[in-house]
Amino acid sequence: MASTAPRPPACVLGQQITVRGTLTGEEDLVVEGRIEGSVALAGHLIVATGGVLEADLDVESIEVHGEVRGDIVASQSITIDKGAHVSGNVRAPRVIIHDGAHFQGAVEMDVDLPEDLARGLKR
Amino acid sequence: MANTVIGSTIVIDGEITGDEDLVVQGTVKGRVSLRENILVEESGVLEANVETATITIHGTVTGDIQASERAELKSNCRVVGDIRAPRILIADGASFKGNVDMDG
């Protein structure tokens, strides 16, 4: 019976799957395939090696081993691992870029700027 | 073995295409086009037109289903839409409204 099929621990989008549109949710997600559009996830997102996201991402935390083209906002952390390709702007309290990762874009970490610099930016 | 799972809190609004088995525990709105097997679990909701090889429904589907091999409506499922497949099974206790076409 189909209902007895083994159930992997996490929510997974497999290698041969393409999602076009918006994905929202409140659990961890592993992407081995492709998403085009946007993702809003209150959970941990893992872009596996071979996974491709052409999407703007709003997540709790993200770990990229594959490819992301789009802006990433994370409430906790963004980790760009060795071999990953990311192009877009990233914003999170913690942004980690490992040796061997490819990244192009701006990083914003909500750093407390020195006062004079903060004043200058406001103007 | 299904290696794509749409978890119970996940909502996808758009289109899913692909070449592997899909398990739906969450919600998918829009269109699903696969060449493999779809399993809609009790908590799963498809508000979508579906094209697939086989589909097994324990949950809720609203939309037309076109299966190249088999469509199976299990007891306690709720399906509204037209079904086209060479083999269609409707279990006792299933609720279904729509047309069935086994010749198309």
Across the interface, do A8 and B5 touch by the CB < 8 Å criterion?
Answer: yes
Kindly report, residue by residue over A67-120, the tens digit of the pLDDT: 999 999 999 999 999 999 999 999 999 999 899 899 999 988 877 777 777 777
Q: What are phi and psi of A105, to 5 degrees?
A: 150, -170
State pTM to two decimals: 0.79
Q: Do B4 and A6 touch (CB under 8 A)?
A: no
Give me the interface pTM, i.e. the ipTM: 0.74
Return the structure tokens found at B30: 């829009």
Instruction: Kindly report, residue by residue over A33-77, the tens digit of the pLDDT.
Output: 999 999 999 999 999 999 999 999 999 999 999 999 999 999 999
A–B CB contacts, 8 A cutoff, strictly below: 95
SS3 for chain A is CHHHCCCCCCEEECCCEEEEEEEEECCCEEECCEEEEEEEEEEEEEECCCCEEEEEEEEEEEEECCEEECCEEEEEEEEECCCCEEECCEECCEEEECCCCEEECCEECCCCCCHHHHHHHHC
Nearest alpha-carbon partner for B101 in A33, B92, B87 = B87
Query: A123: distance to nearest CA of chain B, Å?
Result: 41
Look at residue A8 and tell me whether its pLDDT is greater than 80. no
d(CA A78, CA A94) in angstroms, rounded, equals 6
**Does residue B30 belong to the interface with chain A, where contact is any CB pair within 8 Å?**
yes
Q: How many CB atoms lie within 10 A of CB A9?
A: 8
Q: How far apart are CA B92 and CA A58, in angstroms?
A: 43
